[in-house]
Structure 1
């Protein structure tokens, strides 16, 4: 999310606050302030609002602890946590990559709710212990304890983008051996719960349903949007997994044999042809030898082009990366996520060059498929979890 404000870091994880967070901070402060004014008449006016502010801040501290639960488990698996962001619906932890195994994904997903349950037990235990705490502290704890329990139970709903959805995804991944199926099914369940929340919220606003509120509708819309994005991502990734690097080779790839002179190269590959910043040169067997920068042609006088071998301009110092033709396109995309501007040379089993592959050629391939999937690549980093509060 753009416009986030960095507020510090812990365990090397940067913390951000989205501007939307300030809205829920203000609303929460006002709502809790009213509750404290009713339950503690001696703390009215500014005092009740101050207690409300403290409660909201501690609530978001609980959300932060929830996200740290996910993050620390992910870090124990060697996964870098890019950031933790607090926003209007709670918090999210952004991971560098997905877990490699379903049980690892399950451990990351369940860690957050376990932290919230632990906080519920802690706050409830302190609140019920007869240790002479001031009345305002006990009042704050009386809110924090049940809210953390609700936060844990709500996030265990088995639909993305909630933690329960990630748990369901991991289970289906384990059963089917296909992480994309787990992602798709968990996304669909998330959409079902999203529509259910929207309907309940609307009925409550109309006075038909005794449960729910306008906030329930907003949460439902949030679930629908994120679950829909996850489902779309799963469909695209599944399609990519069934395609190979050879399928996405760019048409008219700038590949040329080195066995010609400069004049022949210019006539056949430069004049009247698409502009390229780099050409791949191959030997008689089609194997990669090196690259040629068209700008280097200017170093040879045109009068000498016919008698100058193309190999004179061959660059062998920085060879491009090669990938096998049968490589899953999804694996290629994951490589592109780490090296966005990389152009790969696709080779067959004999290491003969078949052509070039880049991000644009993958997008073009998906477009040609004319599928319902959007011709976009999967998100660069998966969403670890999202906590919706209400």
Structure 2
């Protein structure tokens, strides 16, 4: 599965694999515990009775780790092909529904989309084939190893088949979008059609889950319905992103940046700043300047972090983002990339810099106001 937008903020960084950052969302611990519990408490005892309790727990834990390693391999395959096609990958995040490779932009062609999507299920099937071989070889050697390999072979086949469901943004939905894109030559239209099919699939999951609940199978029913809800939200968000990119295409930061931001000196105290600059201007971000030299940036969020009783003794330079840590954009950067960076880096504004000079500020509000104005004018 692939995501374009970073919706999983609460994640632990585990390092980098082949240049791609691997993250662990806190929700992953829930599903990991459930997998270990189901393997040790139900699956292995039912299919292989008679093992010592410790063996069930050890094999269950190892199997769960290998399962999530398979999910990482699935997502790494997406990432390798994506990067080979010139589409950057910011990270891979494991979360409650599995894993997601966060790509920075849409594929450049239908062919790229197809290759990026299909490689995930293919990788899962290759892993399934390897574990099937281990299952066959280990039969006379070790029953626990034989059981582990059998479950891993089965679950990777299931992972591949699930991802091939034509419900956008699952891999199957992306394969379907690539085919429609190739036929129509229009990414937005292909996304709209694939999203529509994805929502049908999502509502099918929700209906199936509710049916299971009324049938008395509460646990499976809730889980299936929750998956459907997640797919419906993901499909809708994916289409909105593509539509937004199309509306921003061809426009740059220079077109929407503010050039009248109040410049503030680094030695100004926060109480004076709030009374004389923040409240009268209504602005939320303030370049910290001395002459033409940029020292940093102060935002309303940073001011709020300082207790009010300390404003009179706290200077701007004490709480500002310093120049060497400042995230900036250039005036000719495309708005699609600027907006994507805001989402990826979880910021609301960027200073617009050129040759060391501050030209203005671009904020989320600027971009949204630009879109509203164009919509009202029918542009």
Verify same fold: TM over 0.5.
yes
SS of the residue 1:341 aligns to: strand
Matched, 1:228 2:233: no
- Residue number in structure 1 paired with 2:15: 8
Matched, 1:72 2:72: no
Q: Which is further off, 180-189 or 148-157?
A: 180-189
Q: Within 5 A, what are the aligned runs for 1:131-280?
A: 132-207=140-215, 213-241=221-249
1:248–1:361 CA contact under 8 A, matched in 2: no
SS at match of 2:22: strand
* Residue number in structure 2 paired with 1:379: none
Higher mean Cα deviation, 25-34 or 130-139?
A: 130-139
How far off its partner does 1:88 sit?
Answer: 0.9
Offset from partner CA, 1:173-227 (integer Å, 9 cap, x none): 2222222222222222211111110110011111089996321111111111111
Give the number of the structure whose residues are more often helix, by fraction.
2
Give the Å deviation of 1:368. 4.1
Match of 1:334 in 2: 337
Q: Secondary structure at the match of 2:73?
A: helix
Kindly tell me: are residues 249 and 217 of structure 1, through their superposed partners in 2, closer, same or farther at Cα, counting changes over 3 Å? Answer: closer
Matched, 1:28 2:35: yes
- In the TM superposition, 1:282-293 aligns within 5 A as none
With over 3 angstroms needed to count, the CA separation of the structure-2 counterparts of 1:54 and 1:19, relative to structure 1, is same
Rounded Cα–Cα distance in structure 2 between residues aligned with 1:47 and 1:135: 11
Q: CA deviation at 1:73?
A: 1.2
Deviation, structure 1 residue 250: 7.3
Higher normalized contact order (CA 8 Å, seq sep 6+, divided by chain length): 1
Q: Distance in 2 between matches of 1:336 and 1:370?
A: 18
Kindly indicate whether the alpha-carbon contact (under 8 Å) linking 1:36 and 1:44 is maintained by their aligned counterparts in 2.
no
Select between 86-95 and 3-12 the one with higher mean Cα deviation: 3-12
Residue in 2 that maps onto 1:124: 132
Deviations 1:135-189 (A, max 9, x none): 0011111111111111101101122221112222222222222222222222222
Gaps of 5+ in 2: 1-7, 261-280, 284-288, 293-328, 343-348, 355-359
Change (3 A) 1:230 1:337: closer
1:47-97, CA deviations, whole angstroms, 9 ceiling, x for partnerless residues? 212222111111111101101111111222333321111111000111233
Unaligned stretches of 5+ in structure 1?
255-273, 277-292, 297-319, 324-328, 346-355, 372-390
Q: 1:63 aligns with which of 62, 71, 79?
A: 71
Note the aligned Cα RMSD (angstroms): 3.6
Q: Which has the larger radius of gyration?
A: 1
Deviation at 1:246, TM superposition (A): 12
User: Hey, what does 2:366 align to over in structure 1?
Assistant: 361
User: Secondary structure of 2:367's partner?
Assistant: helix
C-alpha deviation, 1:17, in angstroms: 1.0
TM-score, with structure 2 as normaliser = 0.68
8 Å CA contact retained: 2:124, 2:160: yes
TM-score by length of 1: 0.66
Deviations 1:270-290, CA, capped at 9 Å, x for gaps: xxxx899xxxxxxxxxxxxxx
Q: Does the CA-based 8 Å contact 1:195-1:220 persist in structure 2?
A: yes
Moved more, 169-178 or 107-116: 169-178
Residue of structure 2 equivalent to 1:311: none
C-alpha separation between the residues in 2 aligned to 1:106 and 1:35? 36
Aligned residue runs from structure 1 range 39-58, under 5 A: 39-58=47-66
Distance (whole Å) between structure 2 residues aligned to residue 321 and residue 147 of structure 1? 47
Shift of residue 4, structure 1, vs aligned partner: 1.1
CA distance change for structure 1 residues 170 and 40 in 2, over 3 Å: closer, same or farther?
A: same
